[in-house]
Amino acid sequence: MTIFQAIRSADGLVPAKTLQRTKHADKAVRAPRAAAGLMMLFSLRVSCGLALVDSPGTAFLTKNALSLRFIPAALAFTAAVVLAGCAQTPPKTATATAAPVSDMAPDLKTNPPPRVHVNNPALPTIFIAGDSTAARGAGENQQGWAVPFANYFNPAKVNIVNGARGGRSSRTFITEGLWDQLLAEVKPGDIVLIQFGHNDAGLINDSRRARGSLPGLGDETQAIDNRQTGKHEVVHTYGWYMRKLIEDTRAKRATPIVLTLTVRDIWHDGRIERGSGRFSPWAAETARAERVLFIDLTDIMADQFEAMGEDRVKALYPRDHTHFNAVGADLHAAGVVAGLKGLRPGPITKFLSAQGEAVKADPFSWLQLPLPGNSKLPTLFLIGDSTVRNGRGTGANHQWGWGDFLGKYFDPDKINVVNRAIGGTSSRSYLTGGQWQRVLNMMKPGDFVMMQFGHNDAGPLNDRTRARGTIPGVGDENQAITNLMTGRPEMVHTYGWYLRKYIADARAGGATPIVCSQIPRKIWKDSKMVRSQDSYAGWAEEAARAENASFIDLNELIAERYDALGREKVDPLFADGHTHTTAAGADLNAQCVVAGLKALPNDPLAPYLPADQP
């Protein structure tokens, strides 16, 4: 192998016509390790003064005296690096204090620049803006997910352009011009997938890699004289940079879709880390605030990897805890496709290849469910039906669930309040549909689970549309069915049995369960709101008492408030005939939840309510 091949396989920068002059050009791309070794030999062949220095992921040859034999190769390599926009940086002996290893994505020896080129301008294009976990990598032992991602699409229907670059944060992807390069190719109707965070926890100012963004989503700034670039710069928050990427995409009349982070191979007590720092929930929160879609890739992959087991997953990360091999890249690519297919309306349905068609859609993506904002804090998970969270939690048709208003009554510096309720579910279908398992996967010791079911439990036990009903009561009766909707055998239990299972599962995970009776429907009788004490409200209390779990009689608390207000004032609190509340009605219900908590003999959430709250 010649030095030209070594350079080509190491960084993919020397033009193809240069390779064609060698005998074995076809072998160059299959030998990255041999190429790296030859680069070391090459450095020994030069005369005194040659230095190999790490820039972000790319070996850069400095302009020093070279033996005449290798000048053409050195010049080709150096010119290509310059054209790629790489900047010379000092050796690794820089004195700046490094961020904790767990917060930094390790450097890569091979980090080629993105090739932002649209093959067929007449077709729509899906662009990827991200870091090394998406970017084109070294090969089998290290690859970004956006490389195999193209295999899931039909090239006759859509272009896939991987604009990701290793080592970049949301900040440096913009400041280095990579974003402008990608954006120049974007046209109306295109899709831009945006995924950053692995490198945003780095140093804000450093002579080697000044790439960190300010933590959070606000508008804070910090003016610096960048020690790496030598230029003055105003550094913004992670949220600010993500908003800019979103806004710029929209300005092109294209569709931005935000992705949470890929999963790192970091395990604790049999559970894999779900996101590096707080960047995944920040990404999701930014997307919600900007009213754009996001894919919770972190939890899609974490669920899959935990099912695979730690040993099998470790084999996917042969180099470090952040970068996966080609198999891991393909698994992540399939996870992205599953998330995209799960969105409603589906933005990629008509572009898929046979391989993409075979991927099962993630059933939760369209719901845009929130994530715990700070993994270091305990989390109060809310589970239930549409009276707790309606649709995507955006107030569609003026309908809101009380869970979307509960968080403001808690101290956000002490606890996360995460509303994972899903409209249309019963105590049975929330379990059988897999929603509960994802909550369990996110749960940790010290968390809390507040549950409210009942509105949909009276439906049919078996039909072809929803099959969500439960057997009335709290006993151990069951009924074996072949579910007409799923085609699978199922054992259906009582309403009380399902509540007891949630209570037991929560406790097994180290969490504290709290049971609420269902909110009342707007049904009046003799100037009083009708209660449900003889059915689901009463059964919820029975199940809680039997398991010695905390119980809030939300049905009674809210009904008392409605009675006091009267029909005329209650009517505006409902967005439909009798079930779903407006924002004002949902907020009133949330206030009743807090009142019910405070009335408990031993309120488990008392430490997390603000001290000045009445």
What does the mean pLDDT of the chain come to?
85
Cα distance between residue 562 and residue 568, in whole Å: 10
Architecture, CATH, for domain 376-608: 3-Layer(aba) Sandwich (3.40)
53: tokens are 């220095």
Q: Residues 246-297: pLDDT tens digits?
A: 999 999 999 999 999 999 999 999 999 998 899 999 999 999 999 999 999 9
Furthest CA-CA distance within the chain: 102
H helices of 258-320, where? 279-289, 297-308, 310-314
Q: Are the CB atoms for 537 and 556 separated by under 8 Å?
A: yes
45: tokens are 């062949």
Cα distance between residue 86 and residue 176, in whole Å: 9
From residue 489, alpha-carbon distances to 63, 432, 436 in Å are 72, 12, 19
Instruction: Name the nearest CA neighbour of 387 among 499, 513, 520.
Output: 520
Instruction: Name the nearest CA neighbour of 273 among 320, 316, 307, 321.
Output: 321
pLDDT confidence tier of residue 614, bands split at 50, 70 and 90:
low
- Fold of domain 101-357: Rossmann fold (3.40.50)
Q: Are the CB atoms for 261 and 280 separated by under 8 Å?
A: yes
Cα distance between residue 521 and residue 523, in whole Å: 6
Cα distance between residue 14 and residue 12, in whole Å: 6
pLDDT at 505: 98
82: tokens are 């310059």
**Angle, to 10 degrees, between the axis of helix 435-442 and the axis of helix 297-308?**
90
Look at residue 609 and tell me whether its pLDDT is greater than 60.
Answer: yes
Average pLDDT estimate for 395-403: 96
Residue 463: partners with Cβ closer than 8 Å, 6 or more residues away? 484, 485
**Angle, to 10 degrees, between the axis of helix 3-11 and the axis of helix 32-45?**
130
pLDDT at 23: 34
Q: Are the CB atoms for 202 and 268 separated by under 8 Å?
A: no
Q: Residues 338-378: pLDDT tens digits?
A: 999 999 989 999 999 999 999 999 999 999 999 999 999 99
Q: Are the CB atoms for 188 and 252 separated by under 8 Å?
A: yes
pLDDT confidence tier of residue 546, bands split at 50, 70 and 90:
very high
Q: CB 485: neighbour CB atoms within 10 A?
A: 14
pTM across the whole model: 0.80
Burial code (b: 16+ CB inside 10 Å, e: under 16) for 285-296 equals: bbbbebebbbbb
Cα distance between residue 464 and residue 480, in whole Å: 16
Cα distance between residue 307 and residue 305, in whole Å: 5
Q: Which residue has the tokens 């993506």?
A: 365
Question: For the chain, what are the domain ranges?
Answer: 3-83, 101-357, 376-608
371: tokens are 């994530």
Residue 81: partners with Cβ closer than 8 Å, 6 or more residues away? 11, 13, 55, 58, 60, 61
Look at residue 69 and tell me whether its pLDDT is greater than 80.
Answer: no
Average pLDDT estimate for 323-339: 98
